[in-house]
A = this chain, B = another copy of it.
């Protein structure tokens, strides 16, 4: 037979890819219809595919195609983090300044602490291994993804309200801090736990040194690159060339971070985005890379998460399920009370403080990617993935409801009200039909 008909020929990847694309688009269409963010649709796709994989018996999801999927998912992760960096508008933070910083700090410390404490439920006391494991479970809970919150506030016309801008700035800041903390913990863990058992102190010094060196180099080289891109964009206005060079920079930064500095590749990609953010061509670069990642890479990343997380669920023990549930609650409570309290300290009204807590509660791809990173690094168990999915699904659903409701000043007592909060249009249509 044809060599290209072998089970291990690249063309076999095309069927899973087609499946992923069709499902994710259909399910994100459904999600949107009931007023939920696209990310929910993508997550559900992953779960559905995970179920298919269980009964599929390696006809579609062979070890070989799974490898192809993990290659594409990796590129997806890099593009997502790069675009997260591009979206980061430093100027925005200056607007709200001190308040945003306080909200961010509380919004990082509380979830980290809660996550850390909850992790004690897991077997293993405070050995140096579990210390990092517990810390990492905390770190996962720091990254906010306020796209859902922003969408809701936009819809309510409250995005540019005082609390609205505070939420957006805080979310930006805690992405940056979250990524830095993640990098430090990953590399420290690398030095202390997996270290060659030599002089640990020296290892730690080395790791911290490397981490600092990375950020310094990333910044200095970044300034030069930024100049180069300014030059390019003045030379050829809106040219295909620019996004391609930008993506190349993201890939290179990601590789360098992981390979030469022992820092997560996602940190490199995120900082590549930061470097090119808030510039004349930023929006153009973002548009082109987003087209590419939404056309293939992002759906494949979410699919990969679903495909791997459901398997890990099979051999999960009770104590972990208990932990998982507490972990999800910690993730929600941490932001709700942390950011809420911070807002109150910043003299916001109780209602606005509540809105801040609710708004910062949302998680999405960044949280998922951080967890993925910890699993790859062997720091945390892959069994956590289903709970991360749950955290994202719950917050994506709950935040818009409560947020909209907080602006209506009333609680929905039945499903119609909830629908009304999520999707006013639909509710209105239903009412009309009813009459």
Contact = CB atoms under 8 A, between A and B. Distances in A.
Interface of A: 1-5, 9-15, 17-18, 21-22, 25, 29, 67-68, 70-75, 78, 186, 190, 194, 240-241, 243-245, 247-249, 251-252, 254-255, 258-259, 262, 264-265, 288-289, 291-292, 294-296, 299, 373, 376-378
Contact of A11 (B248, B265, B378): B265
Contacts of A22: 245, 248
A295 B243 contact: yes
A68 B75 CA distance: 11
A44 B114 CA distance: 56
A120 to B, nearest CB: 25
A321 B405 CA distance: 76
Contacts of A2: 186, 190, 194, 258, 262, 376-378
Nearest to A28: B241
A16 to B, nearest CB: 9
Contact of A262 (B5, B10, B25, B70): B5
B291 A21 contact: no
B252 A18 contact: yes
A244 B67 contact: no
B68 A71 contact: yes
B289 A251 contact: no
Contacts of A259: 5, 11-12, 15
Nearest to A257: B11
Contacts of A73: 10
A14 B245 contact: no
Given A292-B296, A376-B2, A14 B78 contact: yes
A294 to B, nearest CB: 6
Contacts of A245: 21-22, 25
A291 B242 CA distance: 12
Contact of A294 (B10, B240, B251): B240
A25 B15 CA distance: 31
B74 A13 contact: yes
Given A4-B377, A15-B252, A18-B251, 20 more contacts: A1-B190, A4-B258, A4-B264, A5-B259, A10-B70, A10-B74, A11-B265, A14-B252, A14-B255, A15-B259, A18-B248, A21-B247, A22-B245, A29-B241, A67-B71, A72-B72, A243-B295, A244-B299, A247-B296, A288-B291
Nearest to A4: B376
Nearest to A22: B248
25 contacts: A1-B262, A2-B262, A2-B377, A4-B258, A4-B377, A5-B262, A10-B73, A11-B255, A11-B265, A12-B259, A14-B254, A14-B255, A17-B251, A18-B251, A18-B255, A21-B244, A25-B248, A67-B67, A67-B71, A72-B72, A75-B296, A244-B294, A244-B299, A247-B296, A288-B295
A230 to B, nearest CB: 17
Contacts of A294: 240, 244
Contact of A21 (B21, B248, B265): B248
A72 B252 CA distance: 18
Contacts of A71: 10, 13, 67-68, 71-72
Contacts of A14: 74-75, 78, 251-252, 254-255, 265
B251 A15 contact: yes
A380 to B, nearest CB: 12
Contacts of A4: 258, 264-265, 373, 376-377
Contacts of A244: 21, 25, 294-295, 299
A5 B251 CA distance: 15
Pick from A251, A258, A262, A288 the residue with the most CB of B within 10 Å: A251
